[in-house]
Structure formats: structure tokens, C-alpha cells
Structure 1
Amino acid sequence: MRSRLLLLFAVVVTALAGCSAPEPARPGVLTAGLAEPGTLLPADVEDQAGRLVTGALWTPLADYDAATGTLTPRAAESITSEDRMTWTVRLRTGGRFHDGTPVTAKSYVDTWQLIAGRQWAATSVLTKSLRAKEITAPDENTIRIVLDRPSGQVPAWLAAPGLVPLPRSVLASHDWTGFARHPVGNGPFRLDGDWQPGTGGTLRRVAAGRPDEVDLRVGDPVEQYDAVKDGELDLATSVPGERHDAMHADFADRHTTWDLPQAGYLVFPAGATRFADASVRHAFALGADRSALADGPLAHQADPAKALLPPAEAPGARTGTCRPCTFDAAAAKSLLGQAGFTGDVPVYAEPGAGEWTRTLAAGLSGALGVGVTARPQPSGGPADGPSTVELKPGSPSPADVLGELAAAAGYTDPGFTGDLAAAEAAGTPQEAGQLYRVAENQALRDLPAIPLWTGHGHAVWGPRVHDVRTTPFAGLDLARLGS
């Protein structure tokens, strides 16, 4: 009998040893799930996961709220100009990189000079938007920027998360692969060791505060969502489409959604004469079922567009509705018939947009009563039909989106161009915002590009997490999370 009891005890102990109990929570330490970042080189980041990590490792010069035109200095003490031609940035004193070297005005000047000569995500902010004639560092804490025309958008451009400084070591070595594996920033967290692809890494706070450590874990978003629900993970930084409907019931007040600097459009090339009639383009706009895109191939990671400017770039709310953003199949078919438009239409998809382009094309075909098929972008020569375009602007300035759409379509309407110039030269953010809306309205009348969808981010968290704050470019602010 005694030997049987000993055997039973041994079996129970063995079974218990094989069970994995949830890891006990450590005070001041949070666990967060995310997708694999595309890169951790801040000037080339375009994805949400990459911005989450680099937003914790770097402090930008400032934050800029496109809706209100409000500038909040961060690494900068001030960003000022008397004539909107020459701008002065004063840095806060004492800034240091995580390797202990000082952050100076020359750090920014040298970094920007290098970015301008590359083909990185942030390059266009310097070369196409800012277009400075001269950028110098008169002293250790002063950056002087001289433009080629007056512009009030400089604060918005300098708030671009890709324009953060790089340390002298990587500016000299150009070892971008090694630096992306172990980035060295000037932000509230440093990376403890190398980033491990497929696994993640640990962020440790540089100065006192909570959380003092964030354990970032790369994994499947469905599994991460369920792990937060089961108490095995504190935070999931994305919500997959298949969990979207359950999110409100599963997490009540422990979830959030925020606008992303990301939007999808259907762009008509200026040289395609079949679409020269604006009523044809309006018919395509009314025939686009945006909800079918958001609920289908975009998997609840986007909203149907309600304006040409996405919310993350918009200078406040629109005062009127966007008629070309409305799905009205009957009106679309009637308008196309009145224009005498016939024949099949190719819709060209840029790389990565094939799935939602096919859904768009099928919906347009049914609504308009003409054959619309999705095709890959032609390898050479001008396109003979519209193309789907996904924009990921590098700064919160409305000028970036409107300018990029006009360039993609070859749209050169004098009224639109004049409105853009007037908005950029405006004396106040409020005046600029009104003029950007005027330019947007002109483009919505002419429709060189049809707005389709705007991206948004999701997050869910457990009961240990509080004070969750988000911004369009950095996403979740890990430095301000309470635990």
C-alpha cells in the first residue's frame, strides 16, 4: 500500500512539473506583443511595429498635432522663425545618446545630410517637402535652416519621426545592418542587447520612471490577443481581423483605436484620355464600395475614407460631406452611361496591394456594368488605366499627402497649385489648415485621385496597464504606460 501511495505521489509531482504556470508579473515590467518590425533604422521605418520600437528608443525634436497645428517641443526647446524663410531650432541642453556621446546640433545636420542622399522613407521629407537651401549648426545647441521660399510647415516636417539624430559611430561606419540590430537612440528607453528577429527584445528605461522595462515579444497577433485575454501578456499592439468583433466584449474599456499615417487611393494618370472627363472619374468614385474593402481584404485594419486627407494628416474636421466618398452604385452606373463610357478597364496594383485591388476591381465591375480587372503595374511605359496607391506620409503635414497625390496623377490644376502655395506660406497654422482644405476641395471636384480607405491601429491590454496614450506616428507611447 505504501509503495502504491509513493508511486501515485511521484506521478502527481511529475504531472505538476509538466504544467506551465503563467509567468508571475514583475513590478515595473510590462510584456508587449508586436509584429516583426521591418527595420529599426528610424529614417527608413514605415510600419507600425517599427515605429513603436523606434518611438521608444528616440525622442523627436517635437510632436505636431495636424488637427490643431499645435507644436509640442521634445528634444527641441523651441522652433521659431521671423520670416518663415529662416528657421532656428534650439535644442535642450544635456541630450545624450545611449552610448554616452552628446546629442548636438551637428548630430542632426550630419544625419539629415546623409538621409537626403539615400532612398529611405524619410528622404522625401527633406528633399521634396523641406527643400532647404542650407542647414547649418552655428553652435552645439542651434540648428539654422534656410529655405528656398517662405513656409509655415517647417514645424510639422521637423516633427517627422524619421528625422531623429544618429550617433557619430554609425554616421562614420555606415553599418546600417548592424545598427538596425542594435540601434542607439536618444529616447526614454535603450535596447538591452541586440534585437532578435522572430523573438523580440527588451527595452530598459534610461532615467527613473515606470515602466522601467518593457519586454517586447514578436509573435502571431491572434495568439498575442488571446494571451492578453488569458493574463499571460500585458499588452497586444495589434488586433487581427478575426478578433475585431470580439474586442469590445473581451476587453470593455481596455482597448483603443487610433489613426495611422496611411491611406489608399485610386489614382488616374493625366495621360489616359479615356478618363479625361471628370464625370467618368466621379462615376468610379461612386462605384467604389469602401466598406467591402475595410471589412474584407483590409481585415478591419482600415476605415472607409471620408475625405481626401486621412485623419492623421487633416487640419481639423471637414465642414461638409465628401460626396465622392459615398458608395452609390445606381448613380455611378447612370453617370458613366451619360458620359458614354464603354469598354473594359484595367486597374493596376502597386506591389503589396494586389488583394484589396482585386476586391476593388470586382466591386467596380459590378457597380458600373463594365469589365474592370486588377493587373500588376506595367513594367515600362505609361499606364492606360488607374492605379491603386497606398500612401505612408513621413510627416504630419497635409502638404505631403496632397503633393504626393498630385505628383502621382500628374495633376497640375493652377487653382490647386496656387492653394497649396498659399497654404504653405500662411502666417498661422489655422490659416494654413483652411487653405489646405480649400486645395483638398478643389482636388475632390477634379478627382485626379479617389480616396478609398485610411488606416488605423488597435491595441488591447490587461488590468495591470493604464494611462494608454497614442499618436498617429509613434502609435502607443510606451514611456507613459502605467503599470
Structure 2
Amino acid sequence: MRTRGRTQRWVLLLTALALFAAACGGGEAAEGGGDGTEAAAEGGGSEAAATGGEFSAYICEPEHLFPPANVTETCGAEVLNALYAPLVSLDLETSEAVWGDDAPHAVAANVETEDQQTWTITLKDGWTFHDGSPVTAQSYVDAWNFGAANPEYTGNYFFDFIEGKAELTEDSSSEAASPGEMSGVSVVDDLTFEVTLTEPFSQWPLVINYTAFYPMPQACLDDPSSCEEAPIGNGPFMMDGTWNHNQNVKVARYEDYAGEPANADGVDFRIYADVNTAYTDLQAGALDVMDNLPPEQIEAAQSEFGDAYLEGNSSSYTYVGFPIYDEKFADPQLRKAFSMAVDRQAITDAILPDQTPADAFVSPVVAGYREGACGEACTYNPEMAKQLFDEAGGYDGTLTLWFNSGAGHEEWMEAVSNQLRDNLGIQSIEFETLDFAQYLPKLESNEVTGPFRLGWVMDYPSPQNYLQNLLYSTAGGNYTRWENAEFDSLIDEGNQAESLEAGLESYAAAEDIAAEEVPHMPMFFGKVAAAHSQNVSGVEVDAQDFINVTEIEVVSQ
């Protein structure tokens, strides 16, 4: 089985229903996830596949498409994964980065270090941007400086690893069009650049797979606004026109792509405000690929789509965060009471067949996951929850639960509200829902007034990626605004270990602190539930829930 993909992350080939059924008949079932085994095969089409043609794929409205350092949510990243090629690929089985000849879609020829702090990155020759300009070491240095200079970019914190980033941000305004330079990034020659980190970090090659580290051509650096609606990337697809907000983003195969070419001529990423509307189009054959099926439709989809239904383990992690900047949620005992009052198993059994109850702050698909690490905070115990709730002084006034609309969260959030009402006695509960493009800015500006739903899909296979990005004091993804110096110190300690394996003990100790403080409630670990029309074959979705668009073949139009 090929495990290559356009994004060059380790591709989790999802379990086709027909193969699952065969496995139940006596063969060995292949399962994806933390045991290191791959999930089973690709979805098939009913006709012999041929290259060419265009297919459509579901996405939600992105918050941004440019610059890469400002695209950290899956709606936008789905498109960027078609437009850009990363420096390295990821192998989830081994938690290792891959480059050179072993990674045909990765731009790096070599990534090397002698001390885990100073890294030399050498690029493959012959790669170009979609405007024909060459991809050089300067393309990366300039793009990284551009992303690091703007503290409002959602991926800005990824550059915190690099020497000189802190000083650059202090000297830059969010309006800066001509950013300065980080002292830790320098060009050696056209195809080589050097990166010096603030401290040793053995997992650095995993990090540079992320979207924030994509290169930028000179045209976008000279006129950033011109690329906001039509980014110029270096990947297998290029923009076909501009982003039609709330409608679609179309991309066409880039014929001069230096990696392995895509099979299809183009992809129409269709934007839906409601996941159920998208599913209706999928059923009608008006949409070809959907990687986020409505939970309530999964059982029926298995029967309806047959071998075009795909399922596998995902790195996705759903949680309900507390706005700790609001004094009402300052007491960890109150937060723990909320968490213990929620019956996750009952919710997944009745409402979310594509999820399993979360029992840790780290997904089971990565090294370092510890079963039950969340402890009693994730154990349903309504009596103890009520006792802790009362001891913490309870909650006065109306409780507002926040979540993004149109993505299938309504029913399970309603179940959460019912359990909080029944088990804690909070009688006045209301909901605040927004489209994701409006929801995220509310979180960023601390305008959320109650527990809020969010999800995370790993950027690279390490517990650090969950713990630091969601809970570290200065992390851009820490929307709870929780701060704990001991937690931060343990994360730093794990980051400076000689290897990922050597750092796991420190990460585990940090997770134990989170289990006591409960800055957010771990809710669910995800599975990927996807389906496709008979117009396409070769459908793959990776462990980060992204469609592998290069492998899809159009078999009919």
C-alpha cells in the first residue's frame, strides 16, 4: 500500500467498509491509530480510473487563505494543502519526518543538525512557484520572517522556537508590510538556509511540515494583498481564479510541479455553511468527496455508500474550554465539577458514533498517549460533581455555551446542557452560535462568556503539539488563557530532551497538571467518517482529516 500524499503527512488510508466486512468474516482487520498499524484501503470507483477531469470536495468557509502563517484552521488548510508542498513529510507510524528521495512531495533534500539547536536545511533543485519563479532558500527565510513579524497571525507562535523572533515581534506592528529579520534564520546559498532555535528541540523537523512554514514568492511579499484571494504556492495545484467567499475555491493542476503530479485536472472546493446541506448534495451526486459526515448520518451512510464509505482513526480532539479570564471560571474545582457532570459515553453512544470519549489531553494516535491520563476529571460522577460544584460556590446567572454553527454540534451540545442542568442544578442555560469564520475571532479577542466548543487536529505527531498549542501560557491556541508556570516549565523540559521518546516523561507530568486544573474539558477523540461519489476513485484522507487530493482520480463526469 502506498502511503504517499499530496500533503506529505503520513497518510492514514481509511478503512473501506467492504474490507472491514471481509475482515469480520475471518481475516485480520487492519486498524489505524496508536498501535502503529495502518488502516485498510482506499475507496474504489465503479469504473476504470483515468487521469484528468475535475472533482468537487466539501470544505467550510475559511477564515484566511493567505499568508500561510495565518492559516491554522482546517477549512483554510484543506485548500493550502493543495496549493503548497511542505519542506518535509511525516510518518505517523514512526513519529519521524521524512525528506529527500523518500518524500517526493517534500521540498527538502536534507535536514541536519549536530546539536538539536542549529539546523541546516537543503532544498531540492528545480522547484518553482505557480508564477514560474524559483523556490529558493530566500523564499523560506522571507516567508518565515513575514509570518513571524505579525503577532496577530494565528500561526505566529510557531516561530517562537526561532532565535530572534521575540525581538522581531516586539519591534513590529500588525500593519507592517516590510517585516524585519529574525537573527536565527539566514541564507547560506540558493538552496541552503540555516535555522538557530532558542534552545535545543529534537522535534524541529516535525514542526516544519506545518502550513506556517510554507514558502512565499517575491510577488506575494511585494504585494501581500494581491495574494489574499489567490495565493501563489509551490504545490501540485494552483489557483483557478479567486476565492469566491461562501461559494467555492477552485484549483487547477500545476503542470510544472516538481513532485509527483496530481491525477485530476482540478478540484472544486465547495464551501458549505451547513454540513447537512453538503451531505444532501453528496447523496444526490452533486458533491464528490466529503470528509466530515454529519454524525447522525454515519450509520445510514455505511449502508448507502457501501465501499465508497470510509472510516478510520483520526488525530482530532474535541474539547470544551473555559474562559478563565472570566472570574466565574477561575476556580479549578468548579471546572472539574463541570467536567465530571458530563457523561461522554452516553453522548457518543446516542449521538456521535464517529467519536469516542476522551480520557486524556492527548490523542491516542500519537506516541505518549496514556489511557486514563485525565483521571477523575473525565470520569462521569454526578454526585461528586455536585459536591465540588457546591463547594466552589456554584454558578450564578445564565450559563452560555458557545459553539460554531452548521457543523453538527447542536445535538451533542444540547445533551451537555441537559446534563449540566440535571447534575449541577444550573437551570438557566442558553447557546451562542456563530459561523466558524466569526466564531474564532470572538475566541481570539476574549469575547466568549462561557464554556466553548473547539477541536484540534494535530500538526505533527507529538504530545507536545496538543499540550503546548492548547495549554501553554503564551500559545496562540490557548483560548482559555490559563497560565501555569510549572506546566510551561515541564513542556520546555520535554522540548529540550534529546528525542521525542526522551521527552515523554516531562510531557506526561505536564498533562497531570492539566488534569488537576482542568482548563478545558476533554470531550471526544475522533474517527474519520467520509464518503465519496462513484465519479471518483482513490480517495484517501489522512490522520489530520485532510483529503489527499493528488491521489483522487475522476472516473466519470
State the secondary structure of the residue aligned to 1:193: coil
Q: Deviation at 1:106?
A: 0.7
- Output the amino acid matched with 1:139: D
For 1:35 and 1:368, the matched residues in 2 are separated by 37
The reply to whether residue 183 of structure 1 matches residue 231 of structure 2 is yes
Shift of 1:315: 2.8
Give how far 1:124 is off: 1.9
Please report how far the alpha carbon of residue 205 of structure 1 lies from its aligned counterpart in structure 2 after TM superposition.
Answer: 4.5
Instruction: Tell me whether 185-194 or 303-312 shows the greater mean CA deviation.
Output: 303-312
Residues 370-379 or 150-159, more deviating: 370-379
Deviation at 1:187, TM superposition (A): 0.8
The answer to whether the 8 A contact 1:125-1:395 is kept is no
* Partner residue, 1:50: 76
Counterpart for residue 171 of structure 2: none
Deviations 1:303-340 (A, max 9, x none): 5423112457x435424464322323234234545x47
Q: Which residue of 2 aligns with 1:99?
A: 131
Residues of 2 paired with 1:60 and 1:384: CA distance?
34
Number of the residue aligned with 2:362: 309
More displaced stretch, 381-390 vs 91-100: 381-390
CA deviations 1:37-56 (Å, max 9, x no partner) are: 41332333344342222101
Q: Tell me which amino acid in the other structure corresponds to 1:213.
A: D
Matched, 1:366 2:422: yes
Letter in 1 for 2:336: H
Which residue number in structure 2 is paired with residue 399 of structure 1? Answer: 464
Is the CA contact (8 Å cut-off) linking 2:314 and 2:545 kept in structure 1?
A: no
Distance 1:249 1:459, change over 3 A: same
In structure 1, how many angstroms separate the alpha carbons of the residues matched to 2:514 and 2:352?
29
Q: Is the CA contact (8 Å cut-off) linking 1:272 and 1:384 kept in structure 2?
A: no
Work out whether residues 406 and 448 of structure 1, in 8 Å CA contact, stay in contact via their aligned partners in 2.
Answer: no
1:123 corresponds to which residue? 156
Match of 2:194 in 1: 144
Tell me if the contact between 1:111 and 1:166 (Cα under 8 Å) persists in the aligned partners: yes
State the alpha-carbon separation in 1 of the partners of residues 447 and 212 from structure 2.
32
Give the Cα separation in 2 of the matches to 1:181 and 1:383.
28
Matches of residues 205-216 of structure 1 in structure 2 within 5 Å?
205-206=254-255, 209=261, 211-216=263-268
For residue 120 of structure 1, what is the amino acid of its counterpart? Y
User: Higher strand share goes to which structure?
Assistant: 1
User: Which residue of the other structure, out of 165, 170, 185, is the alignment partner of 2:220?
Assistant: 170
Equivalent runs, 1:57-456 vs 2, <5 Å: 57-65=83-91, 68-73=94-99, 74-118=106-150, 119-127=152-160, 133-175=183-225, 178-197=226-245, 198-206=247-255, 209=261, 211-216=263-268, 218=270, 221-222=275-276, 224-229=278-283, 233-257=287-311, 259=314, 263-267=318-322, 269=324, 272=327, 276=331, 279-290=333-344, 303-310=356-363, 314-320=366-372, 322-323=374-375, 324-336=377-389, 339=391, 341-342=393-394, 344=396, 347=399, 352=404, 360-371=416-427, 373=429, 387-388=451-452, 390=454, 392=456, 395-396=459-460, 397-403=462-468, 404-407=470-473, 408=478, 413=484, 415-454=486-525
Identify the structure with the greater helix proportion: 1
Contact 1:43-1:163 at 8 Å conserved across structures = yes
Partner Cα separation in structure 2 for residue 104 and residue 382 of structure 1 = 39
Q: What's the secondary structure of 1:149's corresponding residue?
A: coil
Distance (whole Å) between structure 1 residues aligned to residue 431 and residue 292 of structure 2: 30
Structure 1 pair 300–120 and aligned structure 2 pair: CA distance change class (3 A) = farther
* CA RMSD of superposed structures (Å): 3.9
Q: 1:33 aligns with which of 43, 57, 60?
A: 57
Q: Is the 8 A contact 1:346 1:372 kept in 2?
A: yes
Q: In terms of Rg, which structure is larger?
A: 1
The C-alpha deviation readout for 1:329-361, integer Å capped at 9, x for no partner, is 234234545x47445366565674896767534
1:301/1:456 contact within 8 Å kept:
yes
Pair 187,461 (structure 1): closer, same or farther in 2 beyond 3 Å = same
Q: 1:279 to 1:53 in 2, by over 3 A?
A: closer
After TM superposition, the score normalised by the length of structure 2 is 0.69
Residues 52 and 456 of structure 1: is their aligned pair in 2 closer, same or farther, counting only changes over 3 Å? farther
* One-letter amino acid matched to 2:370: R
**How big is the shift at 1:246?**
1.2
Instruction: Deviation per CA, 1:127-182: give whole Å up to 9, x if none.
Output: 3788575111111111211122222232232111232111110110122xx42432
Contact 1:61 1:164 in 2 (8 A): yes
Query: SS of 1:263's equivalent?
Result: strand
Residue type of the partner of 1:56?
A
Amino acid at match of 2:343: D
| TM-superposed deviation, 1:126 | 1.4
Residue by residue over 1:250-289, the C-alpha shift from the partner in whole angstroms, topping out at 9 and shown as x without a partner, is 123322345355532333638848854x554433221023
3-state secondary structure, aligned to 1:103:
coil
Q: Deviations over 1:45-91 (max 9, x none)?
A: 34434222210111011233567421122111222221122112111
**Residues 138-147 or 303-312, more deviating:** 303-312
Q: Return the offset for 1:234.
A: 3.6
State how far apart, in whole Å, the 2-side matches of 1:268 and 1:352 are.
16
CA-CA distance at 1:436 after TM superposition = 1.7
SS at match of 2:154: coil
Unaligned 5+ segments in structure 2 are 1-46, 100-105, 166-181, 433-438
Distance 1:65 1:152 in 2: 16
Instruction: Give how far 1:416 is off.
Output: 2.9
Q: For this pair of structures, how many residues does the alignment match?
A: 453
